[in-house]
Amino acid sequence: EPEVTQTPSHQVTQMGQEVILRCVPISNHLYFYWYRQILGQKVEFLVSFYNNEISEKSEIFDDQFSVERPDGSNFTLKIRSTKLEDSAMYFCASGGPGQATYEQYFGPGTRLTVT
Amino acid sequence: AQTVTQSQPEMSVQEAETVTLSCTYDTSESNYYLFWYKQPPSRQMILVIRQEAYKQQNATENRFSVNFQKAAKSFSLKISDSQLGDTAMYFCAFDGGATNKLIFGTGTLLAVQP
């Protein structure tokens, strides 16, 4: 069964450093998402991406964040200068090829720890 | 703004029994989708069941079923014949269709006791 994959599973970085979180969505999906979950809290939407551009982004997704689909298979989330409060689990999800938000399938997540 | 509320932070059920998790939501949209996701200790998010708002029939997936009350904006999850592997955090989620994102509730931690 196709699945969304994410690498790395756990990333530790120092405050101020740049990190890139990688995702490989399900191959025939067209809609891509990033969510985050601070430990013990609910899952929060960050950004959605379709047709090589951002469809929607939340207030959390400020100028420190960017997304890219560099090669038609990977979908990346970059945090330019990490802060302590960026420590969270980051989930990639993909959906489609039909209606965009009919179902979203989540990857296993990347646990980001900023020290 | 759309909101999702799960009023039960924790629940417990005996193995083989039935449990119902509550979820209410608020929206002004008429066409939308509702989901239940399961998050076991591994923290993977697993889609359990979905419901389209335009469908009157409640969705069912094996031991999982929903009670969708559109007028009351209620979307509860019933787990029958509970198994130890059902122990997890359960999140209710709303998708307004046009918004292109999922809005999650705060979750209900379900413990299945042997």
Is the predicted pLDDT of residue A106 greater than 60, yes or no?
yes
Is the predicted pLDDT of residue B2 greater than 90, yes or no?
no
Q: How confident is the model at residue B79, as a pLDDT?
A: 98
**Helix residue ranges, H only, A6-98:** none
Residues of B with CB under 8 A from a CB of A: 33, 35, 37, 42-47, 50, 91, 93, 95, 97, 99-107
**How do residues A56-79 score in pLDDT, each as one tens digit?**
999 999 999 999 998 878 999 999
Contact B85, B62 (CB under 8 A): no
Could you tell me how far CA B99 lies from the centroid of its own chain? 20
**How do residues A33-52 score in pLDDT, each as one tens digit?**
999 999 888 899 999 998 88
Q: Take residue B8 and report the two structure tokens written for it.
A: 């039960």
Contact residues, chain B, for A60 at CB < 8 Å: none
- Per the model's pLDDT, the better-predicted residue between B2 and A8 turns out to be A8
Average pLDDT (B19-35) is: 93
Q: Residue B96: pLDDT band by 50, 70, 90 thresholds?
A: confident
Q: How confident is the model at residue A99, as a pLDDT?
A: 52
- Report the percentage of chain A scoring pLDDT > 90: 72
Q: Take residue B24 and report the two structure tokens written for it.
A: 């209410």
Q: Take residue B73 and report the two structure tokens written for it.
A: 């904006």
Average pLDDT, chain B: 93
Q: Residue A84 in 3-state DSSP?
A: helix
Which one of A5, A10, A42, A102 makes the best mutation probe of the B interface by having the most chain B beta carbons within 10 Å? A42
DSSP strands (E only) in chain B: 3-5, 10-14, 19-21, 24-26, 33-39, 46-52, 60-61, 64-69, 74-79, 88-95, 103-104, 108-113
Is the predicted pLDDT of residue A101 greater than 70, yes or no?
no
* Sign of the C-alpha dihedral computed for residues B97, B101, B107 and B109 taken in this order: positive
For residue A10, count CB atoms less than 10 angstroms from its CB and return exposed for 0-12, middle for 13-18, buried for 19 or more: exposed
Contact residues, chain B, for A93 at CB < 8 Å: 45, 102
Average pLDDT (B7-36) is: 95
Is the predicted pLDDT of residue A87 greater than 80, yes or no?
yes
Q: Take residue B37 and report the two structure tokens written for it.
A: 């996701």
